[in-house]
Amino acid sequence: MTDKSRNENREAFVMENMDGKKEDEATDDVPLKAESVDVSVAIETKEKDGATASGKEGRDKGFRSWLAKPRVMWWIAVLVAILLITVVLIITLLAMEDSSETYRDITPRLMMVHPRPEGRYQLIHFRHGSLPHEGADWPNLVNELSKLMSNYDSKHNVKRNRTECFGQLPPEGYACLFDTSQISPDCRASNFFGYQDGSPCIFLQFSNITGWEPQPYSTRDLELRRYLPKELRYGYNPAFAFIDCQGDTDVDKENMGPILFMPEQGFPVNFFPYTGHPDYMPPLVVIRFRQPKVGVAISITCKLWAKNVSRQYDIAPSGVTRLTLLIE
């Protein structure tokens, strides 16, 4: 082989080696490029996540700042209070939803309440306000009281064996006429017995228990019996069987507000005993609730006081009657 041929072969071998090296270098560069791309993508992703977290944190901080504003906190408190009052009222109504068909008080009582309470809780419930919308619940109660008062109207007393007794027992064969003229106009049908404006009048009527008559207290009784109501002990009038009405708890007493008794705070004793006379007029005591709390159930107990009266609720004849007043 000539020198020229050997030189050509050597150059060809060198060229082939150079080409192979280039291909190897190119192949080695590919992973390096991919790695650099992955790093940049990770950096971009991290920056985006950081921006998202920062934005969320900013929104949370802004929401907390908004909640911390006094005006926002005040409105939230008002809404919570309204919700709580609504829940309490609903629970109260559900708890008292017990009709007279499922519960009937069979204990003989010396006093009846008008309008007639309903259910186990002896509930008198109405919504006050002007007709025809706001006060849709009270007309039935007013009609009941109107019928009651019609029995005491002078038109029904003509040609009957009734007479004015003036604090004395009636003559033989007669019954005492109960005078309703001393009842305030606030507790008459012309004023809807106070139910329209939320100052209701409730009537206590003797239950016509045959043969019963109150035994009066003596001065010694009033001195020794410290449990007697203060108004009875210091202002006792033996011409009347005293009646006292109080809220069952301090809260009930506060919610009940001031009350007014009429014509007197008790039954006149000359109307006793009841003998079954067909023209007998059972005595009345009217209680006017002047400013009762609206939206709450007020538990009230009324007691008839005399020496021979039981003031236990379930002992007959009981001088105790209860009612629950709920005005909306």
Q: pLDDT tens-digit profile of 142-184?
A: 999 999 999 998 666 665 788 999 999 999 999 999 999 999 9
The domains found in the chain, sorted by start residue, are 102-327 (2.60.40.1660)
How many Cβ atoms are within 10 Å of 179's Cβ, its own excluded?
Answer: 15
Q: What is residue 81's three-state secondary structure?
A: helix
Q: What is the mean pLDDT of residues 318-328?
A: 95
Pinpoint the alpha helices (H) of the chain: 3-67, 70-96, 139-150, 219-224, 230-234, 250-256
Cis peptide before 317 (omega within 30 of 0): yes
Find out whether 143 and 158 touch, Cβ atoms under 8 Å: no
Q: Edge-to-edge strands of the sheet including 284-289?
A: 111-114, 201-206, 284-289, 259-262
In three-state secondary structure terms, 297 is strand
Quick one: pLDDT at residue 291? Answer: 95
Q: Which of 134-138, 142-146, 241-245, 250-254 bottoms out in mean pLDDT, i.e. has the lowest?
A: 134-138
Q: What percent of the chain has pLDDT over 70?
A: 74
Burial (CB count <10 Å: 0-12, 13-18, 19+), residue 120: middle
Q: How confident is the model at residue 45 (pLDDT cuts 50, 70, 90)?
A: low
Q: What is the pLDDT of residue 180?
A: 92
Quick one: how far is CA 32 from the chain centroid? 79
pTM beyond 0.85: the answer is no
Residue 289 C-alpha from the chain's centroid? 17
325's enclosing H/E stretch is strand 320-327
Q: Are 302 and 111 in contact (CB under 8 A)?
A: yes
Measured distance between the N- and C-terminal CA atoms of the chain, rounded to whole angstroms: 127
Q: Rounded to an integer, what distance in angstroms lies between the CA atom of residue 104 and that of residue 307?
A: 28
Using the Cα atoms of residue 264, residue 266, residue 269 and residue 274 in order, give the sign of their dihedral. Answer: positive
Q: Which residues contact 193 (CB under 8 A, 6 or more apart)?
A: 141, 142, 145, 187, 200, 201
Distances, alpha carbon 86 to alpha carbons 52, 91, 92, 98, 299, in Å = 42, 9, 10, 20, 20
